[in-house]
Amino acid sequence: MLPLKDKDRPIAVALLGAGCCPRCILRFCCVSLQSAYRQPHEDILFELQRFIHEKVADESHGATEEVPADSPPCKKVRLEAEQGGEVHEGGEDISVVEGKSKICVVCLGVLQDFCDKDFAKKVAEAVTSEKYEFDSLVLSVSLPAQLSVRELCFLNVSSICRQKGLCLGKDDVIQVKEAFKWILQSLLSQQLGVPVVSKSPLEVSVGFTHPETDGDSASSVLFHFPFLGVSALKSVFTRMAVAKALERISEESFRSMKVIYLPPTPYLVLSTGRYNKFSRTLPQTPWVIDGERRMESSVEELITSPLIASFQAEGFNFSSSGREDVDVRTLGNGRPFAVELLNPRRARFSPAEVRKIQEAINKSSDKIRVRDLQIVTRDAVGHMKEGEEEKTKSYSALIWTHKAIEEQDLEFINDIKDLGIAQKTPLRVLHRRPLAVRQRVIHTMATRFRDDHHFYLQLRTQAGTYIKEFVHGDFGRTKPSLGDLMKTETDILELDVESVDVDWPPAVTDPESGENPDLPASPQHGGTPDC
Ligand SMILES: *[C@@H]1O[C@H](CO)[C@@H](O)[C@H](O)[C@H]1NC(C)=O
Ligand SMILES: *[C@@H]1O[C@H](CO)[C@@H](O)[C@H](O)[C@H]1NC(C)=O
Ligand SMILES: *[C@@H]1O[C@H](CO)[C@@H](O)[C@H](O)[C@H]1NC(C)=O
Ligand SMILES: [Zn+2]
């Protein structure tokens, strides 16, 4: 039984007469029982007709041949309803009730022809043909703009009926989209064997277009509903007025409703980890000048190629916590990075499979290594960028001095603590950064003598310190510089990032041993090098 009340009867009569489909009538009667919509279209129609005729039969004291309310369903009426034919029984009022157009004048068939198992099957096929792997999906629906115009017109019909004092309860008309989802979600879930939920990385969109009624005809529908005004209220219930109102739209045009099976909306999977770079001739990202490639490969390509292949992704976005120059190595625990994989066909990997991908990256080149590779949620990438400025970073550099040095010339450097320096934007980055002065702190330094013109320097600095400029002074733009301190010209020959201390991503435990061989003995500190 449909959860309809007496107050709904005039609305149902008016709307059925105007050519609304049974499900639209339920919507305008504010039926929020989802299972009512999921019944076969013909069953709803049959029940609606019975509901309407019940009253008619009551009023005429059984004078017509209509079935009384409590008698079993009449086979004959049902059969005719199924064939979509008109039922020529009863008087004028009843023939209005049978409806004229077979295609709903409000939803244009969305809640008729596109709400069955066959349609769900087509959508399911469109999804599976893309070969996605997923364990849930979210359904989104787009309808022609035209539908909202129709909706508005008919909303008025039902509200006019209510204004007549026939309605006291809540006035929540169910949206076409909502009713459609109630029906299709459960059918689709059956077809695909996964739940259809409100939040899932895989979004399946079903779009409807109806070119025939787009554009001008949209407003003409609005104009040619003469019964929208209160004064015309009475004519709402006559068949002629309704027929006239709908004259402008032909049966064929209703048939032109088209469905687009939109492929699932591209979605992203985020993979993250830390990388080491052991080469001084490898840029972080592809190095292209005037359309010409300068370096054979890049950190980005070495990491993303195996990822793209495994995830069967359409594209990617690579980001990292800071970056190093082409001639700078990144050692220690590595630099955190994240790769957004666009529209992956495969996104579910066991920890062992993720480790296999990591191994493939490790084996593809001896220039880089990756650890702690893992799949995380998209918002997690924020952690990587969080508090970058406050972090400290550790470096080691090979220094050249103009003046010959001895081991004891270096001792004073080891005693310097928390040295404040001022760095004007380096000349080499001026083309992409505004001119400014950065105040930075060199927390500690440690030296190791090599020969009379070379020594190694370990530095622990505030993130964002320009290390190369601190060493050579950048034509006096960094003050004080190492050269100033040593009172001789100094230059930097090699630079390594020893640690980038961002506590993200978390360490990954080896799926086999249950231990993490990569975990450092003690936490280290670092930050964003821009050295
Ligand atoms: C709905 O009907 C009222 C009269 O009851 C009318 O003033 C209003 O313009 C109508 N709204 C639409 C969208 O047709
Ligand atoms: C990559 O990230 C940038 C910035 O966050 C964004 O504008 C762009 O659309 C992303 N590209 C892809 C393919 O996701
Ligand atoms: C990849 O290399 C890193 C760094 O040497 C190492 O920690 C990690 O265990 C390697 N992973 C695999 C799966 O080979
Ligand atoms: Zn409808």
Summarize pLDDT for 401-438 with one digit per residue, the tens: 999 999 999 999 999 999 999 999 999 999 888 999 99
The model carries a pTM of: 0.63
Q: Is residue 524 part of a domain?
A: no
Alpha carbon distance 225, 232 (integer Å): 10
Q: Is 229 in the pocket of ligand 1 (CB under 6 A)?
A: yes
Q: Whose CA is nearest to atom 7 of ligand 2?
A: 317
Task: Confirm whether 513 is domain-assigned.
Answer: no
Rounded Cα gap, residues 297 and 278, in angstroms: 13
Give nearest CA residue, ligand 2 atom 14. Answer: 317
Residues 378 and 431 in one domain: no
Closest ligand 3 atom to Cα of 363 = 14
The residue among 457, 416, 424 whose CA lies nearest residue 440 is 424
The answer to whether the beta carbons of residues 12 and 51 sit under 8 Å apart is yes
Query: How far apart are alpha carbons 158 and 152 in whole angstroms?
Result: 10
Q: What pLDDT was estimated at residue 85? A: 36
Reply yes or no: is the peptide bond before residue 226 cis, omega within 30 of 0: no
* Total Cβ atoms within 10 A of residue 301: 17
Are 357 and 374 a contacting pair, CB within 8 Å?
Answer: no
Higher-pLDDT residue of 89 and 149 is 149
Residue that finishes a domain, picked among 357, 385, 413: 385
In this structure, is residue 1 part of a structural domain?
no
Could you tell me if the CB of 369 is within 6 A of ligand 3?
Answer: yes
Choose the final residue of a domain: 237, 260, 283: 260
| Domain membership flag for residue 251 | yes
Residues 334 and 411 in one domain: no
Which protein residues have a CB closer than 5 Å to ligand 4 (ion)? 21, 24, 104, 106-107, 111
43, 325, 327, 510: which one is catalytic? 325
Q: 283 and 153: one domain?
A: no
Query: Does a structural domain hold residue 523?
Result: no
Q: 321 with 398, same domain?
A: no
Active-site residue, 325 included: yes
Domain membership flag for residue 506: no
Does the pLDDT value for residue 248 go beyond 50?
Answer: no
- Sequential DSSP letters for 406-465: -GGGGHHHHH-EEEEEEEE--GGGTTTS---EEEEEEEEEEEEEEETTEEEEEEEEETT-
Is there a single domain that holds both residue 304 and residue 426?
no
CATH classification of the domain holding 344: 3.30.70.2510
Cβ–ligand 3 distance for 121 under 6 Å, the answer no
Among 149, 156, 164, the mutation site with the greatest number of ligand 1 atoms within 8 A of its Cβ is 156
How confident is the model over 455-466, as pLDDT tens digits?
999 999 998 899
Residue 273 phi, psi (nearest 5): 175, -165
Window from 85-94, 106-115, 168-177, 469-478 with minimum mean pLDDT:
85-94
Q: Which tokens go with 314?
A: 């359409």
Best mutation site among 333, 369, 508 for ligand 3 pocket (most ligand atoms within 8 Å of CB): 369
Same domain for 160 and 63, yes or no, is: yes
Element (H, E) at 48: helix 41-59
Asked if the model's pLDDT at residue 55 lies above 80, the reply is no
Q: How far is the CA of 193 from the centre of ligand 4 (A)?
A: 28
Q: Is the minimum distance from the CB of 221 to ligand 1 under 6 angstroms?
A: no
Based on the domain organization, do 301 and 251 belong to the same domain?
no
User: Please, which contacts does 73-76 make with residues 24 or more away whose CB atoms are closer than 8 Å?
Assistant: 73/46
Please state, in angstroms and rounded to a whole number, the distance separating the CA atoms of residues 33 and 504: 47
In a domain, 378, yes or no: yes
Q: Does residue 419 share a domain with residue 365?
A: no
Per-residue confidence band for 104, with pLDDT thresholds at 50, 70 and 90: confident
Q: For residue 200, is it within any domain?
A: yes
Task: List the CATH number of the domain containing 453.
Answer: 3.30.70.3190
pLDDT in tens, 152-197: 667 766 666 666 555 444 457 888 999 999 999 999 999 999 999 8
Question: What ligand has the least distance to the C-alpha of 27?
Answer: 4
Tell me how far CA of residue 152 lies from CA of 148, 257, 321, 465, 502, in angstroms: 6, 19, 52, 62, 55
Give the pair of three-digit tokens for residue 89: 């029984």
Tell me, yes or no, whether 471 and 377 share the same domain. no
Number of domains into which the chain is organized: 3
Are 161 and 304 in a shared domain? no
- DSSP annotation of 262: P
Which of 456, 301, 292 shows the shortest CA–CA distance to 367? 301
Q: Are residues 130 and 279 in the same domain?
A: no
Task: Please identify, among 365, 385, 405, the residue that sits at the C-terminal boundary of a domain.
Answer: 385
Ligand 4 centroid – CA 21 distance (Å):
4
Per-residue pLDDT tens for 380-390?
A: 777 777 766 77
Instruction: Output the six-digit token pair for 62.
Output: 């059984």
Query: In which domain, by residue range, is 157 found?
Result: 6-260
Enumerate residues 6+ apart whose C-beta is below 8 A from 201: 134, 267, 268, 269, 347
> For atom 7 of ligand 1, which residue has the closest CA?
229
Residues 139 and 217 both lie in one domain: yes
- Residue that wins the pLDDT comparison between 81 and 322: 322
Distance CA 26, CA 31 (A): 5
Nearest-atom index, ligand 1, CA of 156:
1
